[in-house]
Amino acid sequence: MQLPDIPWTEKYRPSKLDEVIGQQQIVSRIRSFVKNHNFPNMIFAGPAGIGKTTCAIAMARELYGDEMGFAFKELNASDARGIDVIRGEVKEFAKTISISKVPVKIIFLDEADALTSEAQHALRRTMEQFSSETRFILSANYASKIIEPIQSRCVVFRFKHLTEDDMAAYIKRIADAEKLSIDQKAVDALVYVGDGDMRKLTNTMQSVAMENSHITESAVYEIAARARPKDISTMLMYAVRGDFEKSRIELNGLFLKQGLNGEDILTQCYKEVQIMQIDERKKLDIIMGIGEANFRIVEGANERIQLEAMLAKIAAEQHRR
């Protein structure tokens, strides 16, 4: 039986620092570490899907080459987040001597902000004990969740969101390699759905391509289970104009025809309202309404009722005037 192709997130993962997208300033500093074969403990902080893991692996490949397996250890802290892992697997690898041409090894802890407080304190002690032979790279979505004693022992690199141009160039690279046909509206849709997360964008693109080698805008939104920006802005504009019934019909379409949930709709509302051509005071009112509805839904309120209440409140303001 023929094995399926590997996911595109791995197939097109940059293998060298020069191929990393959108983080040129960070890559430049890391490259100087590679050149000197000397580097500090590091924290890679930032949102998901913007290249933190990719940078760590690319750095290790350039440092160790074929000897990477002996000098680089990757662990996902969200899978093994307790103190036993730090005292066992991490400590055992940290205290071994590097047999590669580079005198220090690297332990890469992905999603390190998921480590328990006890595990982090044990990690701090391990970092102190084996500082001469081992360096640590901690990847975290929220660097503030890493205890201060560890942060003070590391250089923090804050990864930024990828630009739309970066993501569009990456889409073109995959499309050319996979011989896909893709129009500009589909590219814009993929960028919108990805929302700065290259992993989400790549998975969506691969899912669409499995059905048809010609990628269209409608297929992207359907696979990603996202509403078109126009549908969201239309719903909000009806409410702003005081036409609650029409905005409610649009909301029903998002729930029933497109199968979206309340939090997804609110997230897109928040994104769209910021670019709507309406009075700034009205924008403030809508954003406050989105925040209130989101809080109530997270707390367990009925999402359909909360979204309709939000639209009703926006429409009622227009009638008061």
What are the residue boundaries of the structural domains of the chain, listed by start? 8-158, 164-224, 229-320
Q: Can you give the pLDDT at residue 321?
A: 61
Q: Which residue has the higher pLDDT, 100 or 11?
A: 11
Q: Give the mean pLDDT of 17-32.
A: 87
The first and second tokens of residue 57, run together, are 């692996």
Residue among 271, 264, 262, 276 nearest 234 (CA):
276
Query: What's the CA gap between 306 and 228, in Å, rounded?
Result: 21
Query: What's the CA gap between 14 and 56, in Å, rounded?
Result: 11
The amino acid present at 111, given as its one-letter code, is E
Quickly tell me which residue has 């019909």 as its tokens: 249
Least confident of 8-12, 20-24, 74-78, 286-290: 74-78
pLDDT band, residue 18 (cuts 50/70/90): confident
Query: What's the CA gap between 18 and 54, in Å, rounded?
Result: 11
Q: Can you give the pLDDT at residue 2?
A: 39
Q: Within 13 Å, how many C-alpha atoms sit on residue 218's CB side?
A: 1
Question: At residue 83, does pLDDT exceed 80?
Answer: no
Query: What's the CA gap between 225 and 261, in Å, rounded?
Result: 10
Question: Could you report the per-residue pLDDT of 135-188, keeping only the tens digit for each?
Answer: 999 999 988 889 999 999 999 999 988 888 989 999 999 999 999 999 899 999
Q: Can you give the pLDDT at residue 133?
A: 85
Q: Give the mean pLDDT of 305-315.
A: 93
Indicate the average pLDDT of the chain: 87
Instruction: Decide: pTM greater than 0.85.
Output: no
The first and second tokens of residue 316, run together, are 């009622």
Q: Can you give the pLDDT at residue 37?
A: 81
Q: Can you give the pLDDT at residue 82?
A: 63
Q: Does domain 229-320 have CATH number 1.10.40.50?
A: no
pLDDT-above-70 percentage for the chain: 95
Question: Could you report the per-residue pLDDT of 33-44, keeping only the tens digit for each?
Answer: 888 888 899 999
Q: Can you give the pLDDT at residue 1?
A: 36
* CB-count exposure of residue 128 (10 Å: 0-12, 13-18, 19+): exposed
Q: Give the mean pLDDT of 264-269.
A: 91
Q: How crowded is residue 242: how many other Cβ atoms within 10 Å of its Cβ?
A: 16
- How many Å is the Cα radius of gyration of the chain? 24
Query: What's the CA gap between 294 and 300, in Å, rounded?
Result: 10
CB 238 within 8 A of CB 246: yes
Q: Can you give the pLDDT at residue 138?
A: 93
pLDDT band, residue 122 (cuts 50/70/90): confident
CATH of the domain spanning 8-158, picked from 3.50.50.60, 3.90.100.10, 3.40.640.10, 3.40.50.300:
3.40.50.300
The secondary structure element, H or E, covering residue 205 is helix 198-211
Question: At residue 256, does pLDDT exceed 90?
Answer: no
Q: Can you give the pLDDT at residue 17?
A: 87
CB 84 within 8 A of CB 75: no
The first and second tokens of residue 174, run together, are 């995959």
**Alpha carbon 247 to its chain's center:** 31
Query: What's the CA gap between 315 and 231, in Å, rounded?
Result: 17
**Alpha carbon 289 to its chain's center:** 26
Residue among 232, 254, 162, 255 nearest 200 (CA):
162
Say which residues have a Cβ less than 8 Å from residue 141's Cβ, sequence separation at least 6. Answer: 45, 46, 47, 48, 111, 113
Question: At residue 247, does pLDDT exceed 90?
Answer: yes
Question: At residue 67, does pLDDT exceed 90?
Answer: no
Query: What's the CA gap between 281 and 314, in Å, rounded?
Result: 12
CATH of the domain spanning 164-224, picked from 3.30.465.10, 1.20.1250.20, 3.30.379.10, 1.10.8.60:
1.10.8.60
Q: Within 13 Å, how many C-alpha atoms sit on residue 64's CB side?
A: 21
Query: What's the CA gap between 122 and 105, in Å, rounded?
Result: 19
Question: At residue 251, does pLDDT exceed 90?
Answer: yes
Say which residues have a Cβ less than 8 Å from residue 23's Cβ, sequence separation at least 6. Answer: 50, 51, 55, 159, 160
